[in-house]
Structure formats: structure tokens, C-alpha cells
């Protein structure tokens, strides 16, 4: 057996970050947690910001821990984060202010202002991206509306992982998969949509070069090496958008598969070779985001585990803490199909009290109001599963044929009850896992970049051997079919033409 290769993956989500160590012994890939740290937005007056300097300090701390605990050399490093958020640098490379959190309300009403200059269909036809108020395009326009001085001194625009990579290496660039979440990128040209951005008054000279996933950026800088005590370790521009990394790690055994990257947000879609800029994709508000190795992720982005996270946060404030095992058991024991919520409603994006918001929605829509915590949790999970089916049916309409298998990857793939609900709702097998898909996708892109794995197909086969999935077969399909009609009727989702049953 040859020397073990060690890859460091920084996987930073909207609530926490992890430093993960991937160890490849030539036959299987093994994953270890080096360090975990919080990542929470900070409210200052009426705005929400990220503590990006705190994140960077935790990254350096994690590298120190890794250097102490790893006897073999570190092969490479890569960073992935959530999408849409960014930082601005001045002429000297200094960060201008604290980056906004995408949940900040400063983008309220911005979409309509954008469409007065560039019509909505034209924005989609150029970028191919799903319309959401959190998108970078509307955050940039919010800076203009606020008459902020930021653009007067801004020299460089960097997405969150690119900002961290700049501090690690000194090189300024934007990685492709994360850049596609901005709604500022030309979907077919795979470069910044300079004409559209200029028409909107956004300075186009701040946007840097775009690197493809899997390119070697540079070694970590002398400053970082001296501070941490590491050697010349390459930094890889991996799939720096966490969903792109997670999809790369789908251990698919058939070509015709759909996926759900399931965490705080849920991103449901398929891999395709070219962006689909059709009227059907536009009307259903799906989006085309960049995948790895010349693929496109045709997907729909939806609020997901945020519902449960917020409910448990509220209950914790009242002194009641529930483990995930307890949450699943409470939902399992609750009465089925009490009510449904439209999980895409904006009222659920940042409510003061999520349980009360859910109850208020059910009352307003003339449904039974879930009372117990178990009923609230089951309402969330059944509604999520139904929303997955709705998105799956849209994909079937767009593609003309249904995917054969549905893969759930990410942290919420460990939710066995929701996995079973999803199989019941979709009526096809659900393959759950790996739960650490984002970190694993980050690592396999590094392995390909460093020449240790030949291609994405070989990497996915390696993951299938190293991290077996669990399959959930559909049950009680007639009951779920009947309640699907109720779900459509109690939400604002329009019925689909040729809707599958």
C-alpha cells in the first residue's frame, strides 16, 4: 500500500463551519473531523452581517490543529461556502466593511427596480438563474439604492470562498460554481454579464477572472505559512459552492438521477450538459447553476431544515432542548397529515417565532392547527416531502421523463423519517447519503486536481465503496397521492400541467 494522501476541506455553511480531513489509502477514502466552529450572522441595528474575519481566524486555527494532528504531509486545501454573499476590496486589497448576510432585508423591493431597467425575462435569458431576493445581483443593487460609498472605493468583488482563498494565497479570482449563484454571470458565455451589469449601474471593472473548479490556485502564502508553521501546500479552486460540491459527491449508479442537497436550504435538481433557458424553466422558477467538469445543475432552491432549526431554537430559548433523535420520534408519533404549509412563503424566511408562524399559516388557510411540538414537526416534514414531489414533477415536465432514482445527500440525509416521507411522496426509491457530501465533494475535486483520481466517474465510484448509502422504498403511495392534492390546494403553488399522480 502506498503513502496515504491527506486533503483538507473547509466546508462552511450558513450556521457552522468544519475543517475535515480526507485520507485516501489507495482503496478507500476516510473522513475525519479536525475542527468545528460556529458561523452566525450578527445583527447591528437594522442589518445582518457575517463575521468573516472570525471565520478566517477559525480557518487558521484549524490548520494549526491539522498540522499538529497529522503525521503525513497535507496534499492540498480547498474551501467551499454557501452562495450569493460577497466582500468588496479596496485598491490596497483591504476589505471594505462587513459582508451582508443574505437574510438582511436591504434587498426588499429591489427586484422590481431591476426589472424596470432590465426586464425579468431578459435577466433570466442572460443568467439562467432562479429568482430569489437573496441573489447577489439584488444585494449589489441595494448598495446603489442606499447611496453607499462602497462602490466609489471598491476595486475587487470576491465571493465568500474567494475572499478566504485570497487571504490564504494572495490571488484574487472568483470560482465558477459559486459565481453562478450571483445572477450576474452569463450562463452560456460563462463570464460576467458585463452588459447587463453596466446597464444597471453596477461597476463592471470590480469583477475578477473566473477559475473553473479543479484548478490549482497557488500555494498558501508565506505569511500564512510562517504564522501556522506549514509548508508549501497547494490551494485548489474546488467546487467552492457547497451545493456544487455536494452534487459532485452523489454516488450515482445510474445516469438518470435526481438529487436533493439537504441542509438549511434544499436544492433539488438534475445534472445536464448545457443550461436550459426555456420558457418552461423560467415559468417554474428553476435555475441553472454551474456544476463540476462542464455540467449544469438544473435545480430549484427552497427553504428546508431552516424550519426545524428555527423551531428548536425557539424551544431552546424556553429551556427545552431536543436531540435530532427526539425530534424524529416526536414527529413519528404525531397524527399524520394534520396540515400543510407552503415552505416557499416569504413569511417563513426570517420569522420571530417559527412555531407560531406555522400555526398562523395553518389557521389563515382554514386547516387544522398543529398544537403539539410533534404535530408541528410532522407538518414541516410532510410539507417538505410534498414540496420535493412538486419540484420533482416540474423536473419531469421539463425533461419529458422522470428520473429513476432520487439521491438525498447532506446533513439531513440522516433524517430517516423525512427520507421515508420523500420516497412515499415521490413513489420511487430514495438513496440517502453520504451525510458529509459537501466535504467529500470538496475532497474529490482536490483528488482529481492533484491527479490522484482520474475523473468524476471514478471519484463517485470511490465514494460509493467508501460511504454506502441506505435505500428507502416507497410506502402508502395512495394515501400520499390523495394528500398531495390537498397540499397543492392549501399552498400558493400553481397546479402543474400534466401533473404526475
Q: Which residues carry out catalysis?
A: 242
Q: Is 63 exposed, middle or buried (0-12, 13-18, 19+ CB in 10 A)?
A: buried
Judged by DSSP in three states, 216 sits in: strand
Torsion, Cα 262 267 273 278, to 10 degrees, reads 160
CB 202 within 8 A of CB 140: yes
The string of DSSP letters for 164-210 reads: HHHHHHS---EEHHHHGGGT-EETTTTEE-HHHHHHTT--GGG---E
Q: Of the candidates 219, 239, 215, 236, which has an alpha carbon nearest to the alpha carbon of residue 228?
A: 219
Taking each helix axis from N to C terminus, what angle separates 354-364 and 373-399, rounded to the nearest 10 degrees? 70
C-alpha grid cell for residue 159?
465571493
Q: CA quadruple 417, 421, 426, 427: dihedral positive or negative?
A: positive
CB 413 within 8 A of CB 436: no
CB 63 within 8 A of CB 164: no
Determine which helix (DSSP H) or strand (DSSP E) holds 63, and give its type and residue range: helix 52-69
Backbone angles phi, psi at 159, to 5 degrees: -70, 165
Beta bridge partners of 258: 406
Chain centroid offset of residue 273 CA? 20
Amino acid at each position: 500500500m502506498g503513502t496515504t494522501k491527506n486533503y483538507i476541506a473547509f466546508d462552511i455553511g450558513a450556521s457552522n463551519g468544519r475543517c475535515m480531513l480526507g485520507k485516501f489509502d489507495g482503496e478507500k477514502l476516510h473522513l475525519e473531523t479536525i475542527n468545528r466552529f460556529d458561523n452566525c450572522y450578527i445583527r447591528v441595528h437594522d442589518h445582518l452581517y457575517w463575521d468573516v474575519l472570525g471565520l478566517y481566524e477559525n480557518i487558521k486555527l484549524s490548520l494549526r490543529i491539522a498540522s499538529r494532528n497529522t503525521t503525513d504531509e497535507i496534499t492540498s486545501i480547498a474551501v467551499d461556502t454557501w452562495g450569493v454573499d460577497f466582500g468588496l476590496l479596496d485598491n490596497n486589497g483591504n476589505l471594505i466593511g462587513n459582508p451582508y448576510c443574505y437574510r438582511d432585508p436591504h434587498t426588499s423591493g429591489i427586484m422590481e427596480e431591476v426589472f424596470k431597467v432590465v426586464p425579468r425575462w431578459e435577466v433570466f435569458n442572460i443568467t439562467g438563474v432562479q429568482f430569489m431576493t437573496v441573489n447577489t445581483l439584488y444585494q449589489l443593487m441595494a448598495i446603489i439604492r442606499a447611496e453607499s460609498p462602497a462602490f466609489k472605493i471598491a476595486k475587487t468583488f470576491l465571493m465568500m470562498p474567494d475572499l478566504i482563498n485570497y487571504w490564504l494565497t494572495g490571488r484574487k479570482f472568483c470560482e465558477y460554481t459559486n459565481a453562478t449563484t450571483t445572477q450576474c454571470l452569463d450562463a452560456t458565455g460563462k463570464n460576467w454579464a458585463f452588459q447587463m451589469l453596466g446597464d444597471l449601474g453596477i461597476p463592471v471593472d470590480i469583477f475578477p477572472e473566473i477559475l473553473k473548479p479543479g484548478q490549482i490556485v497557488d500555494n498558501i502564502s508565506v505569511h500564512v505559512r510562517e504564522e501556522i508553521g506549514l509548508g508549501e501546500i497547494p490551494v485548489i479552486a474546488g467546487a467552492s459552492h457547497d451545493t456544487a460540491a455536494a452534487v459532485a459527491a452523489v454516488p450515482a449508479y445510474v445516469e438518470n438521477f435526481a438529487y436533493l442537497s439537504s441542509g438549511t436550504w434544499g436544492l433539488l435538481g438534475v445534472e445536464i450538459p448545457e443550461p436550459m433557458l426555456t420558457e418552461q424553466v423560467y415559468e417554474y422558477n428553476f435555475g441553472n447553476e454551474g456544476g463540476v467538469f462542464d455540467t449544469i445543475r438544473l435545480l430549484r432552491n427552497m427553504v428546508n431544515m431552516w424550519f426545524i432549526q428555527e423551531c428548536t431554537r425557539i424551544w431552546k430559548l424556553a429551556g427545552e432542548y431536543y436531540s435530532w433523535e427526539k425530534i424524529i420520534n416526536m414527529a413519528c408519533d404525531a397524527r399524520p397529515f394534520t396540515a400543510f404549509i407552503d415552505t416557499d412563503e416569504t413569511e417563513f424566511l426570517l420569522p420571530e417565532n417559527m412555531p407560531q408562524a406555522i400555526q398562523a399559516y395553518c389557521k389563515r388557510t382554514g386547516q387544522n392547527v398543529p398544537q403539539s411540538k410533534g404535530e408541528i414537526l410532522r407538518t414541516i416534514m410532510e410539507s417538505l416531502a410534498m414540496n420535493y414531489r412538486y419540484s420533482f414533477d416540474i423536473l419531469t415536465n421539463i425533461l419529458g421523463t422522470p428520473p429513476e432514482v432520487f439521491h438525498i445527500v447532506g446533513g439531513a440525509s440522516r433524517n430517516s423519517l423525512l427520507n421515508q416521507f420523500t420516497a412515499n411522496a415521490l413513489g420511487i426509491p430514495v438513496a440517502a447519503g453520504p451525510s458529509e457530501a459537501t466535504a467529500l465533494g470538496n475532497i474529490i475535486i482536490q483528488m482529481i486536481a492533484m491527479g490522484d483520481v482520474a475523473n468524476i466517474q471514478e471519484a463517485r465510484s470511490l465514494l460509493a465503496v467508501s460511504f454506502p448509502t441506505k435505500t428507502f422504498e416507497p410506502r402508502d403511495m395512495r394515501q400520499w397521492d390523495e394528500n398531495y392534492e390537498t397540499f397543492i390546494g392549501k399552498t400558493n403553488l400553481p397546479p402543474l400541467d400534466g401533473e404526475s399522480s
